[in-house]
Amino acid sequence: MNLDFSGKIYLSGIGGSSMSSLAKILLLRGKEVCGSDMQSSEATDELVKKGVKVYIGQKAENIEAEMPAAIVKTEAVSENNPEIVAAARLGIPVYRRAELLGTLLDGYKKTIGVAGTHGKTTTSSMITSVFLASGLDFSAILGGHMKQLGDGYTIGKTDSVCVFESCEYKESYLFFKSDISVILNIAPDHMEYFKTEENLINSFRRYLQNTKPGGYVVYNAEDRASLEMIEGYEGKKASFGIEKGRFHAKNVTLEKGRGVFDLYDGDTLLGNVRLSIPGFHNVKNAVAAAAACTLYGIDAKTVVRGLCDYAGDERRFEYHCVVNGAVIADDYGHHPDAYKVTFDTARAVGFKRIIAIHQPHTFSRTKLLMKEFAEVLSTVDHVIVAPIYAARETNDMYNVYAQDLVALLPNAEYCETFEDIAKRVFETAREGDIFITLGCGDIYKAAKLITKLNAERNGNGKA
């Protein structure tokens, strides 16, 4: 994609975390931006405040009214979307979000990309935290809102280096080239696209070939699929893990669920890390981030300080309020493996009861992973299941419903609306509980609704 043109750039799906960040970056580069999304959100509201024309609802008339020079669509927008069909009729070029991001990344002297099924946003944000601690000039384009930035991106004064999140969905990451390519793990996800694990691993192999000459691949020494992926790779590589890998952790303990460990590069002690966010899994994310930053050339003391400073991202085990002594939290996880990690974290923190508020994401994932979701959700004390968040799909070919999952669980109930969910929380919450909304759709709105209603009940405007 070439950005050397005048005229508007229309972003179809502009409210997504990555797309909204790209919209802001284009504004900073002097481009005229407009776009659409299926529903309003904090992201779209913020863009409107910046002067961006945002249409709620995706219609052909939007394109006819704006007549943009180019359209960029998120992967959730299908080829038969009315806006994309209108673009074809009007002769307006359409690009994928990954093509736009790839074009922006090509303008940097160096890039650090973080790929993998789980942990991309946290690990890329940890790397960003280290760069913040270093005082170096850099940019970052993340998949979520990092609390230290107050946003999902930061743009430096120069085009020296950019940290970015590299997504495998529909092989978007094949548009990106990195000097340091971090692959955190490989697990079955987006299987409606990849079909088989072999295809998934081979896709990651192709991604490795995008690592620039002289660059490094950082891979997980404790992940079977990642070890299979790296076989035969002839470029420079460095492994990471907890017990295995060039970069690893020793003397790992959890203090109120937060990891404390000694960080090593081979036999060299880099320092003692005390994470500010909970979860044993974040120890491994931190080791991966440390590997990338060390290979980039940042000194050990700064790496350790940056990891300790990292304050988390929105929608990653994020606390919202307290109801009757119970914590209301929210997490972006939408895969059974991610749920297990979230529940393990809640147990490590010391909650007495775990109540999962599960919003299934897409019909395909719900059907393909029904058994796995049932298994992991059966390990918590109670489950509230919301309707399936369709995202880019229709139910025509899947014929699956949220109630199908409820029928497999002895500890579950179905709630049709966020208002129903809030009602159940206020009825059942007690001291020592954690109610955690789970999913990458709009289930976070349930946590926010509970917070709002709780503030009103308290009568002081505070949650």
CATH value at residue 397:
3.90.190.20
Same structural domain, 117 and 61? no
Residue 389 lies in a domain: yes
Residue 463 lies in a domain: no
Q: What is the pLDDT of residue 140?
A: 93
* pLDDT, tens digit (0-9, with 9 covering 90-100), for 113-143: 999 988 899 999 999 999 999 999 999 999 8
Residue 430: alpha-carbon gap to chain centroid? 30
Same structural domain, 85 and 167? no
Q: 10 Å Cβ neighbour count for 337?
A: 18
Same structural domain, 400 and 429? yes
Which pTM value belongs to this model? Answer: 0.77
Quickly state the pLDDT bin for 1 (edges 50, 70, 90): low
Same structural domain, 126 and 148? yes
Q: What is the pLDDT of residue 390?
A: 85
Same structural domain, 155 and 256? yes
Residue 101 lies in a domain: no
Residue 102 lies in a domain: no
* pLDDT, tens digit (0-9, with 9 covering 90-100), for 343-369: 988 888 889 999 999 999 888 889 988
DSSP-based three-state secondary structure for 9: strand
User: What is the mean predicted confidence (pLDDT) over 25-46?
Assistant: 89
Residue 287 has pLDDT above 90, yes or no: yes
Residue 429 lies in a domain: yes
Same structural domain, 181 and 224? yes
19: left (phi over 0), alpha (psi -120 to 50) or beta: alpha
* Residue 40: CATH number of its domain: 3.40.50.720
Task: State the residue range of the domain holding 242.
Answer: 107-309
Residue 385: alpha-carbon gap to chain centroid? 22
| End-of-domain residue from the set 291, 309, 327 | 309
| End-of-domain residue from the set 96, 126, 159 | 96
Residue 2 lies in a domain: no
Same structural domain, 154 and 294? yes
Same structural domain, 210 and 305? yes
Residue 3 lies in a domain: no
Q: In this structure, what DSSP letter does residue 388 have?
A: P
Residue 31 has pLDDT above 60, yes or no: yes
Same structural domain, 436 and 402? yes
Same structural domain, 220 and 91? no
Same structural domain, 294 and 188? yes
CA 387 to each of CA 201, 406, 414, 415, 422: distance values in angstroms, whole numbers, following the listed order: 32, 11, 8, 8, 15
Average per-residue pLDDT for the chain: 91
CA 317 to each of CA 65, 360, 435: distance values in angstroms, whole numbers, following the listed order: 41, 18, 11
Same structural domain, 189 and 162? yes
* Residue 127: CATH number of its domain: 3.40.1190.10
The larger pLDDT score, comparing residue 168 to residue 89, is at 89
Three state DSSP letters for 181-245: EEECCCCCCCHHHHCCHHHHHHHHHHHHCCEEEEEEEEEECCCHHHHHHHCCCCCEEEEECCCCC
Distance CA 41, CA 459 (A): 26
Instruction: Check: CB of residue 358 under 8 Å from CB of residue 332.
Output: no
Count of domains observed in the chain: 3
Residue 1 lies in a domain: no
| End-of-domain residue from the set 258, 284, 309 | 309
